[in-house]
Chain A
Amino acid sequence: MTKKRSLRILFWIILTGSLIAVGAIYYIFNMPRRDLANEKAAYQLEAKQLISEFKSDENSSTTKYLDKAISVRGEIKSIRTLENHVVVFSLEDAMEGVSCTVDSAESVRYAVQLEKFRIGSTAKFKGRCSGMLMDVQLINCVPE
């Protein structure tokens, strides 16, 4: 009787344990992408400041900002629409400024807000910093 009972308990423990494990593996494997809209910015600064930090020391700026959610504000100097409604806004300088890429899903979700942005207007974007090429790049951006 007691043996049977302990076996039953053991069975339930193993079953619950394996269900949790399978669930965890499934979750990690299909982990959702970071949604910048729900993420608090680790740094909040002017686009000009971000550019000057990267230009003065690219190495330490890369380590400091890479993959972090950053919120930047600056004047729009160019707007480029790529395929699948991906839109790239360049802040402060069309060539060597901060480029903020808004992906297809977000460009649809924030269409009303984005349509108001013109060259010359001041905009604020929150995005994930991927480093610097000619400009400092922020990806997965959302307007703020």
Chain B
Amino acid sequence: MIAMIGMVISTLKAQNVYFTKDAKINFNSSTPLEDITAETNQGTTFIDISKNEVKFSVLTTSFKFRRALMEEHFNENYMESSKNKDFAKAKFSGVITTPVDWKNEKKTNVEIKGDFTMHGVTKQITVQAQITPGKSAITASAEFHIVPQEYNISIPAAVKDKIAKEVVIKVDANYSPFQH
């Protein structure tokens, strides 16, 4: 009986969780001197609609740049991806602070507050996002800005004018119900 209740609870829980492993993330740190953009479609993310929780993670080496050399610099000099498992990824864990009616299939502007970790440094950030609940899917998009220096990423003086002080990060995700 207890086992049955446990099973019911765990299925209830699973129904509240949506996920995707193919979230699209791109960032832009272009300046008039250099066009720097990168993209990946390998973001893994979860939304728990019962707790309004959002989790996001991506491996930094999965980002593709216009030039192979940029990829090398990004991973070796700036992100130091191979240093350890924490440097190899960027993570976000937060809570949607704006009320969302998950039964209403309407695009909603929300604010998500949480911890963003990159290059081994964690900072609290606020992300503006748009969420559209659906019958069996949720789509979401978000945009936020980060300052590389705040994450202990030092940019050499020689290329300082080529890389933007603030990096714009955009996220697009189509979530499906999580079944495990």
Spell out A's residues near B (CB within 8 Å). Answer: 28-34, 58-59, 62-63, 66-67, 80, 82-83, 86, 88, 95, 99, 101, 128, 130-135, 137, 139
Contact = CB atoms under 8 A, between A and B. Distances in A.
B118 interface: no
Contacts, number: 70
A80 to B, nearest CB: 7
Given A29-B67, A86-B41, A139-B42, A131 B22 contact: no
Q: Classify the interface of chain A: helix, strand, loop or mixed.
A: mixed
Interface string B27-46: 00000000000000110100
A131 B68 contact: no
Given A28-B69, A32-B68, A67 B61 contact: yes
Given A66-B81, A67-B75, A99-B21, A133 B57 contact: yes
A137 B82 contact: no
Nearest to B46: A134
A130 B68 contact: no
B58 interface: yes
B54 interface: no
A62 B85 contact: yes
Interface of B: 21-22, 41-42, 44, 57-62, 67-69, 72, 75, 81-85, 88-89, 180
Contacts of B89: 131, 133
